[in-house]
Amino acid sequence: MKKYLLSAILVTLGSTNLISGGDVSFPVPDDTITGYHTPLEYSDEWKFQFAPMFLWGMHINGDSTIGPTTAPLKLDFSDILNNLSAVFTFHFEATKGDWTYFSELQYVKLTPTMDITPIASMDINFRDYMFELGTGYAFSRSERSKWEGLLGLRYTQQKIKTTLQPVNVGLLDVSNNWVDVFVGLRNTYTISDEWTVLSRADIGAGGSDFVWNAVVMADYRFNDWGSVFFGFKALDYDYDNDKHGFDHYAYDATQYGPLFGLNIHW
């Protein structure tokens, strides 16, 4: 787990020019940046961005424990896509001055079927829901780079229900939810008026024993109101509800994969 966390922090630091010869103690005036609005602009007016239905090509690798049984959990994006029955995502940010407020929702429902015998099968209904709410403060700015400290809450809910077919008998119905507090860093580095690289790393705990999250992505601003982004995201949970018997549930897995979406700015 420490190896994954170290890699996440190195990716965040390595993707930007951390050492700058410029003065980073004051906001960049509006008239020093041309073209479209960039994340480096300091403004006392509210600025918003909204990414509806972004795609996270998720892979899952780890272990899951239900009751006394622990099983390896390894799903590629093709496995998830073939068994996907519902998905909903969005990311929203509001910025004024040095402060940014953000929220993100990810909901995935998988309904795979597993053959048990030639005449019997098991329907699996897995729901993964994650919502985070947080704030960021820009503590350092230069001509091309902005650093923010992050603080927030992440709510996670996982539900697993299994049904034996063709007799339609329920075998398992497990639901767990928890809340983690996270702290982290985010860097925005502007390459040009159109291209921006954003990196984020955070760690947390609370309901989970430990959780880390890392994102690196590039954003292309094609006009004043819109941009497209692509990159990579990894989210790792080490969760155990500390219950006994068949009520025991644990999830120790990394969710990772490419990101792609549209950002609307106003």
**φ/ψ of residue 212, rounded to 5:** -130, 155
CATH number for the domain that contains residue 51: 2.40.128.90
Please check whether residue 122 is in contact with residue 167, taking contact to mean a CB–CB distance below 8 angstroms.
no
What is the DSSP pairing of strand 59-66 with strand 47-52?
A: unpaired
**How far is Cα 71 from Cα 133, in angstroms, rounded to an integer?**
32
The count of domains in the chain is 1
Those residues of the chain that have pLDDT short of 50 are: 1-37
In this prediction, residue 237 carries a pLDDT of 97
Range of the domain at 37: 2-265
**φ/ψ of residue 112, rounded to 5:** -75, 160
Find, among 93, 126, 141, the residue nearest to 253 by Cα. 126
Find, among 53, 71, 49, 51, the residue nearest to 61 by Cα. 71
In this prediction, residue 39 carries a pLDDT of 54
In this prediction, residue 184 carries a pLDDT of 98
